[in-house]
Amino acid sequence: MTSLRSDAFVLSRSALTESSWIVCLLTRREGKMRAVAKGARRTKSPFRGALEPLNRVRVEISLREGRDLGTLMSADLEESALDLFGRWPAAGILLAVVEVLDRGLAEHSTEEETYRLVGAVLDSMRSGVSPALAWLYFASWFLRLHGVLGRPGRCAHCGAAKETGHFDAGAGGWICRECARSRLEQGIDVSSATREALGDVFRLSLPGLAARSPGPEALKGLKAVVYLALVSYLGRPLASGDHVSG
C-alpha cells in the first residue's frame, strides 16, 4: 500500500453507497484519479464542502497495488470555486471545462501542464476575464497539450509547409486549400483573423489575451474550430455543448 499527497482539483463525484462518494480528481502529481470518499455523504463528514466541482484541495489518497480506485483519506479545502459557479454564464463554461477534463484525460497519466492551465483559467475568471474568452483559452490549450490543435503552418494531409486556411479533424487538423478541395464538405474554412487569434492564445497569457481583445468575428471562428476539434478528440459532442458550441 502506498500513499499519495498532492494538490488537486475536484472534477466530479458519483454515489457509491448511501454514505460514500466516488470522487474524480485532477491531481498535480498523478493526473486524473478516482478515489472512494468513505462517509462523505454524511452530514458531519470531514469532507463536507470540500468535494465540490473545481474546488482546489490538498488530498491524501491511499493506493493499493493493482487497483485503479484509491481511498481518499483527507481533502483539505484550499480554494473554493463556489464563487464562480454562482455566476452565469461562468457556471455553464465551468461545466464544460469539467466535462472535457473528466472525459478527455486518461487516468494516472501525469498532467502537470493541464493542472496549471486549470488554475490559470480559474484565477483569470476571478479577476474579471470573460467566461467566453476563458473557455477559448482553456479549450485551445487543452487541445494543443494533447496533440490536437497546433499552430497553422504545415498541412496535416500532404505535409507541405504552406498556409493552412482550413481545419479538418478527420484529416489530422490544419490542411492547405488544395487538400481541402479534395475533401469536399469536410471541416471548415478558417479566416486569417481567426488564425491570428489562435496564435495570440498560444503566445499570450489569458490576462494578456483579454487586454488585446480579439475581434468578435475572430473569436466566433475560433469558437467553432475548438469545438469541432474537441468533438473529434472526445468522440462525441459535449453534453454541456449548449454553453460552448459554435
**Mean pLDDT score, 195-216:** 95
Q: What is the largest CA-CA distance in the chain?
A: 64
pLDDT band of residue 153 (cuts 50, 70, 90) is confident
**Mean pLDDT score, 218-243:** 93
Query: What 8-state DSSP symbol labels residue 70?
Result: E
Does residue 1 register a pLDDT over 80? Answer: no
- 195 with 219: CB under 8 angstroms? no
Which of 34-38, 73-77, 168-172, 216-220 has the least mean pLDDT?
168-172
Amino acid at 73: M
- pTM: predicted TM-score of the whole model, two decimal places: 0.93
pLDDT of residue 246: 60
**Mean pLDDT score, 216-231:** 94
* Residue showing cell 469545438: 227
Task: Please check whether the two domains, 2-80 and 83-152+190-243, share a CATH topology.
Answer: no
pLDDT of residue 152: 83
* Residue showing cell 497553422: 152
Which of 124-138, 144-158, 229-243 has the least mean pLDDT?
144-158
Distances (CA, A) of 125 to 3, 24, 91, 94: 33, 23, 11, 10
Share of the chain above pLDDT 70, in %: 100
Helical axes 216-234 vs 90-104, angle rounded to 10°: 30
Helical axes 192-203 vs 131-145, angle rounded to 10°: 80
* Residue showing cell 500532404: 158
* Domain boundary assignment for the chain: 2-80, 83-152+190-243
| Range picked from 128-132, 152-156, 177-181 for highest mean pLDDT | 128-132
Domain 83-152+190-243 sits in CATH at 1.20.1440.120
CATH fold, domain 2-80, is OB fold (Dihydrolipoamide Acetyltransferase, E2P) (2.40.50)
Q: In this predicted model, what pLDDT tens digit does every residue of 19-55 receive, in sequence order?
A: 999 999 999 999 999 999 999 999 999 999 999 999 9
Residue 93 CA to residue 240 CA, distance in Å, equals 8
**Mean pLDDT score, 61-82:** 93
Q: Which residues, other chains included, contact 104 with Cβ-Cβ below 8 Å and sequence gap of 6+? A: 142, 146, 230, 233, 234
Does residue 66 register a pLDDT over 80? Answer: no
* pLDDT: which is higher, 54 or 155: 54
**Mean pLDDT score, 238-245:** 87
Q: In this predicted model, what pLDDT tens digit does every residue of 85-107 receive, in sequence order?
A: 998 899 999 999 999 999 999 99
Edge-to-edge order in the sheet of strand 173-175: 173-175, 166-168, 188-189
Cα 159 → chain centroid: 28
Three-state secondary structure call for residue 4: strand
**Full DSSP string of 109-177:** ---HHHHHHHHHHHHHHHTT--HHHHHHHHHHHHHHHTTS---SSS-TTT---S---EEEGGGTEEE-H
